[in-house]
Structures are given as structure tokens and as C-alpha cells.
Amino acid sequence: MAKKILIVDDDPDILDYLSELFQDNGYQTATAANGVEGLDKVRAEKPDLITLDMDMPEKGGTNFYAGLRKDQAIRDIPVIVVSGVGPRPPVLTRDVPTISKPIDNTKLLQLVADMVR
């Protein structure tokens, strides 16, 4: 069964781009346009991995990540930050990889493959 990736980003072009990239490489995808929707989708979809933008309306990446890690049922799902935002927010632990926009497809796909074995 294909691994599922939840893409959380407020940019519809990024949602489409990453969905297509992951699907072309054998993954299932689900998307969310902000952190509130993202947390709901994590609980409903139970993805194997989450890609997370940091700068979003309603509930940004920092608050999404904090909420994710507080919930025992979903706290261990791995996260890759895919964002154009600069410095790493303090809530993110050092084991959370970060990919800057514009996205390096090869690097992102390698990280995903390493994290969802």
C-alpha cells in the first residue's frame, strides 16, 4: 500500500505542485490550506508523513506543529518543513528537516523516502 503524505500549505500552487510530485513518485496525498484544517486532516487521514509550510493564515506552521506534538494519537508522525520562511522557529526540534522554497525536488523526495520506510 502506498504511503500517504499530508501537504499543509496555504498556496494552492504549492499544494498542486507537491501533490503531483508525490503522486508521480508513488505516494498518496491529502492537502490542507491552513493549520486548523491540517490538524483535522491529520486525525482523519492518519498520514505517514506531513509537509508543513510555516507562514499560513488561521493557524500557522508553528501552532500546527505544537498542536500535533501535544496530541498522543498523532504526535509521532514525521514532519518536513517546506517553507520560504527564514530562521527555524524554536518549537521545531532539530530532528525536523527543513526544505526551503523554491523546492529542490531531489532533496525533498530523498528525505521523504528516508522518513517513511
pLDDT of 9 strictly over 80: yes
> What was the pLDDT predicted at 93?
64
Q: What is the mean pLDDT of residues 88-113?
A: 84
Which of helix, strand or coil describes residue 51? Answer: strand
Q: CATH number of the domain at 38, please.
A: 3.40.50.2300
pLDDT of 3 strictly over 90: yes
pLDDT of 24 strictly over 90: yes
Strands (DSSP E) found in 1-117:
4-8, 28-32, 49-52, 79-83, 98-100
Average pLDDT, the chain: 91
pLDDT of 33 strictly over 60: yes
User: If pLDDT is split at 50, 70 and 90, which confidence band does 101 have?
Assistant: confident
Q: What is the mean pLDDT of residues 84-107?
A: 78
Number of domains in the chain: 1
> Domain containing 50: what range?
4-115
pLDDT of 17 strictly over 90: yes
pLDDT of 80 strictly over 80: yes
- DSSP letter, residue 76: T
All 3 cell numbers of residue 74?
498523532
Residue 9's contacts (CB-CB under 8 Å, 6 or more residues apart) are 15, 18, 31, 33, 51, 52, 53, 56, 82
